[in-house]
């Protein structure tokens, strides 16, 4: 038996208690959540510098995934249809590699120039032979190739894959690990995130510092072609704001000094390379 | 009434100007309190960016409204459309004239201030109705008609419930009602039935939750204010919060002793100090009722139209009539 109006009083009691209860709002970006070490953020396939998915259906990820969450199917580089679990649907329709994996006529590559780079195959053969095609020498071989060409030409990598009988996915994956370039050096593209979170937490100051440091505005390139600057609201670094992307690597949260330091590193590397090229 | 004789018209002009100016900070304070309190009750933090604890949030809202484009619909009845916000706002602001803020601090200390007050505050329904009509919009018209139906219905129990106080105190002057309460204790003790009726009816009269059917966002967009933008909408918005303040003030005056402290008024305080002391208690009690109204808004869902009407005519009106009868009988029998 409830008295008339007791429900209303109960409601008033709840709101009154809530008045003093702990609040659930998080004061982002002043108060950052503690992010667990194994946090992976939004899961997405990684793109290579040519704008294509790096996934080559090598199943390395599926094999190491402890909860077997990864399934895929497709054609490997040898043209064999391979399947690990349920057919992959994600992003297949827009991915040029998906055309190839599905056995359809490939869409034109976005950067066909990469296929036209002739390499000195004798040089690559000698190089591989010098290391006796040992797999652990792969990175050393990459280093030698990059020292000669300034980057890792696709055809050289294909040749290395054939000569060393290492799966193309593994060769390509190792080349993408860092320190190696897959395109001729055309300067670095620096993208400063202009999303609300980044701008709020100092992104504008970061951009201003970079503009001053490089002497260019967004959308321009430096005179020597080493850097070009642009902004995008979709660097999408989330908790790492203010964020900046150099080519494909995302850095953040950054102060203006840290950003200058990153630019300085790139400058030194470029200077060293140009000295080496001049000597050879 | 030496005061009014000495200052005359000058005092009247000054008082009206001051009261008009008072509406601005009053609305800002109440809007801020509402933003903050509802947020806290919903486990949010609420405004915290503009000024310490966000206290300038509502002022910023006001300036924002000033900067907005003022749109008039093509088919609108232009003169009426333009005048409606002014009518609603002036109904609220004019009724402030008779509110006794403190001893000696009342703009228009009339012998019939109760009648004046309920006549003027009832005018706001005209503004809402013509706003709904002039907008040439179905939602606006629905909101305007709802406001007319609701306010006319609730005027009756509202007025009947205060007749109890009027019979008890034998006067229509707010200051004399307070004087009576100084001698006999707060009227709420004498009007245990009349007070809840007045409270519910006054909440409906100023369209506060749970009686905010007039501008029920989830049903009729924003009711009569649908087509309004810029400062004209701001006037409606202002009037709503000023009306909340006024209704709370009148409630305090009629039932909770106005500017009287809960204990006997210290006799040594007179003149300016006495006014300050009274003002403090009046404001404290008024804002307590403002906070209760905000609390109710955070708690109660909106009621249906049929419930609204049923409540006015089937519950509040009979209760108010019985209360009136009993009060009158008691006054006659015990010759109070």
pLDDT digits (tens, 9 = 90+) for B200-248: 888 888 888 788 777 777 777 777 777 888 888 888 888 888 889 998 9
Which residues of chain A form CATH 3.40.30.10? 188-279
Cα–Cα distance measured from residue B211 to residue A212, given in angstroms and rounded to the nearest whole number: 59
Confidence of residue A175 (pLDDT cuts 50, 70, 90): confident
Q: What SS3 class is residue B49?
A: coil
| Greatest mean pLDDT among A50-54, A138-142, A246-250 | A138-142
Q: Chain B: give the shortest CA distance to residue A3, in Å.
A: 17
A13 vs B contacts (CB less than 8 Å): none
> Taking a contact as any Cβ pair under 8 Å apart, which residues of chain A between 40 and 99 contact chain B?
none
B37 vs A contacts (CB less than 8 Å): 19
**Model confidence pLDDT, tens digit, residues B156-180:** 888 888 888 888 888 888 888 888 8
Mean confidence (pLDDT) of chain A = 73
Whether A8 and chain B come into contact, CB under 8 Å, resolves to yes
DSSP letters for B89-145: HHHHHHHGGG---BTTB-S---TTHHHHHHHHHTTHHHHHHHHHHHTT-HHHHHHHH
Average pLDDT of A232-239? 71
Confidence of residue A96 (pLDDT cuts 50, 70, 90): very low
pLDDT value of position A113: 47
- The number of C-beta contacts closer than 8 angstroms across A and B is 33
- Determine, for residues A24 and B44 on separate chains, whether the beta-carbon distance falls below 8 Å: yes
Residue of higher predicted confidence among B275 and B329? B329
B43 vs A contacts (CB less than 8 Å): 18, 21-25
| Greatest mean pLDDT among A38-47, A58-67, B142-151, B213-222 | B142-151
- In the block, residue with structure tokens 């850095």: A251
Cα–Cα distance measured from residue B306 to residue B203, given in angstroms and rounded to the nearest whole number: 17
Lowest mean pLDDT among A65-69, A141-145, A148-152, B43-47: A65-69
Tokens describing residue B218: 């989830």
Cα–Cα distance measured from residue A190 to residue A260, given in angstroms and rounded to the nearest whole number: 12
Lowest mean pLDDT among A17-21, A116-120, B60-64, B312-316: A116-120
Q: Of the candidates A8, A15, A23, which has its C-beta nearest B44's C-beta?
A: A23
For residue A8, what is the nearest residue in chain B, using CA coordinates?
A: B300
Q: In what order do the strands lie in the sheet with A244-246?
A: A227-232, A188-193, A244-246, A249-251
pLDDT value of position A88: 39
Task: Say if residue B21's pLDDT is above 80.
Answer: yes
Residue B58: CB partners within 8 Å, gap ≥ 6?
B27, B28, B29, B31, B32, B35, B47
Average pLDDT of A203-210? 88
Lowest mean pLDDT among A36-50, B63-77, B164-178: A36-50
Task: Say if residue A58's pLDDT is above 80.
Answer: no
pLDDT value of position A114: 46
Whether B28 maps to a domain, the answer reads no
A8 vs B contacts (CB less than 8 Å): 299-300
Minimal CA–CA distance to B82: which of B236, B223, B206, B237? Answer: B236
Q: What phi and psi, each to the nearest 5 degrees, are found at residue A177?
A: -65, -30
Superfamily of domain A188-279: Glutaredoxin (3.40.30.10)
User: What is the complex's ipTM, to 2 decimals?
Assistant: 0.72
B-interface mutation test, from A13, A15, A30, most B Cβ less than 10 A away: A15
Residue B265: CB partners within 8 Å, gap ≥ 6?
B182, B274, B277, B278
A27 vs B contacts (CB less than 8 Å): 45
Whether B159 maps to a domain, the answer reads yes
Whether B296 and chain A come into contact, CB under 8 Å, resolves to yes
Q: What SS3 class is residue A227?
A: strand
The percent of residues above 90 in pLDDT, for chain B, comes to 4
Q: What's this model's pTM, rounded to 2 decimal places? A: 0.63
Cα–Cα distance measured from residue A46 to residue A53, given in angstroms and rounded to the nearest whole number: 6
Q: Chain A: give the shortest CA distance to residue B31, in Å.
A: 17
- Determine, for residues B45 and A23 on separate chains, whether the beta-carbon distance falls below 8 Å: yes
- Determine, for residues A12 and B37 on separate chains, whether the beta-carbon distance falls below 8 Å: no
- In the block, residue with structure tokens 């004046």: B116
Q: Is A117 exposed, middle or buried (0-12, 13-18, 19+ CB in 10 A)?
A: middle
Mean confidence (pLDDT) of chain B = 83
Task: Say if residue B150's pLDDT is above 80.
Answer: yes
pLDDT value of position A31: 83
- Determine, for residues B40 and A11 on separate chains, whether the beta-carbon distance falls below 8 Å: no
Q: Chain B: give the shortest CA distance to residue A12, in Å.
A: 6
Number of domains in chain B: 1
Tokens describing residue B324: 């009136």
Whether A2 and chain B come into contact, CB under 8 Å, resolves to no
**Residues of the domain holding B136:** 70-334
Cα–Cα distance measured from residue A71 to residue A92, given in angstroms and rounded to the nearest whole number: 13
């Amino acid at each position: 038996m409830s008295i008339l109006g007791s429900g209303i009083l109960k409601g008033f009691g709840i709101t009154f208690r809530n008045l003093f209860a702990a609040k659930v709002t998080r004061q982002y970006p002043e108060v950052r959540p503690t992010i667990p070490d194994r946090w992976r953020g939004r899961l997405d396939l990684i793109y290579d510098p040519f704008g294509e998915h790096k996934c080559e259906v090598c199943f390395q990820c599926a094999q190491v995934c402890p909860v077997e969450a990864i399934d895929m199917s497709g054609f490997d580089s040898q043209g064999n249809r391979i399947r690990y679990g349920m057919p992959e649907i994600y992003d297949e329709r827009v991915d040029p590699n998906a055309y190839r994996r599905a056995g359809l006529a490939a869409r034109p590559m976005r950067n066909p120039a990469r296929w036209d780079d002739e390499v000195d195959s004798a040089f690559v053969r000698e190089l591989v032979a010098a290391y006796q095609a040992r797999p652990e020498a792969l990175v050393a071989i990459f280093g030698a190739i990059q020292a000669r060409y300034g980057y890792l030409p696709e055809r050289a990598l294909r040749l290395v894959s054939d000569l060393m009988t290492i799966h193309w996915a593994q060769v390509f994956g190792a080349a993408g690990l860092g320190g190696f370039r897959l395109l001729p050096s055309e300067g670095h593209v620096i993208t400063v995130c202009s999303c609300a979170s980044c701008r709020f937490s100092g992104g504008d100051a970061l951009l201003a510092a970079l503009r001053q440091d490089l002497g260019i505005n967004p959308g321009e390139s430096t005179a020597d072609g080493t850097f070009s600057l642009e902004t995008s609201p979709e660097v999408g670094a989330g908790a790492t704001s203010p964020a900046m992307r150099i080519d494909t690597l995302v850095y953040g949260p950054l102060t203006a000094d840290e950003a200058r330091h990153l630019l300085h590193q790139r400058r030194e590397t470029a200077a060293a390379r140009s000295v080496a090229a001049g000597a050879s | 009434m030496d005061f009014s004789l000495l200052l005359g018209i000058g005092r009247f002009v000054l008082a009206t100007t001051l009261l008009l100016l008072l509406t601005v900070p009053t609305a800002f304070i109440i809007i801020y309190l509402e933003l903050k309190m509802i947020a806290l009750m919903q486990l949010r933090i609420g405004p915290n960016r503009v000024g310490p604890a966000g206290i300038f949030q509502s002022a910023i809202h006001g300036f924002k409204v000033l900067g907005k484009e003022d749109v008039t619909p093509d088919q609108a009845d232009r003169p009426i459309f333009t005048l409606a916000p002014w009518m609603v706002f002036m109904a609220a602001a004019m009724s402030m004239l008779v509110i006794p803020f403190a001893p000696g601090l009342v703009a228009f200390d009339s012998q019939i201030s109760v009648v004046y007050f309920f006549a003027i505050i009832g005018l706001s329904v005209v503004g809402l109705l013509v706003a709904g009509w002039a907008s040439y919009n179905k939602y606006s018209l629905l909101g305007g008609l709802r406001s007319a139906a609701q306010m006319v219905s609730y005027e009756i129990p509202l007025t009947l419930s205060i007749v109890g106080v009027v019979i008890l105190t034998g006067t229509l002057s707010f200051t004399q009602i307070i004087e009576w309460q100084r001698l006999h204790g707060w009227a709420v003790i004498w009007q245990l039935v009349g007070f809840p009726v007045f409270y519910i009816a006054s909440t409906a009269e100023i369209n506060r939750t749970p009686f905010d059917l007039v501008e029920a966002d989830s049903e009729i967009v924003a009711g009569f204010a649908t087509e309004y933008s810029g400062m004209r909408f701001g006037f409606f918005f202002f009037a709503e919060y000023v009306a909340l303040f006024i209704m709370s003030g009148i409630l305090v005056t009629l039932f909770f002793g106005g500017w009287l402290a809960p204990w006997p008024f210290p006799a040594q305080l007179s003149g300016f100090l006495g006014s300050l002391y009274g003002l403090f208690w009046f404001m404290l009690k008024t804002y307590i009722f403002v906070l209760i109204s905000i609390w109710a808004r955070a708690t109660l869902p909106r009621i249906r139209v049929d419930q609204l009407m049923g409540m006015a005519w089937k519950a509040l009106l009979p209760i108010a009539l019985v209360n009136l009868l009993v009060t009158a009988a008691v006054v006659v029998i015990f010759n109070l």
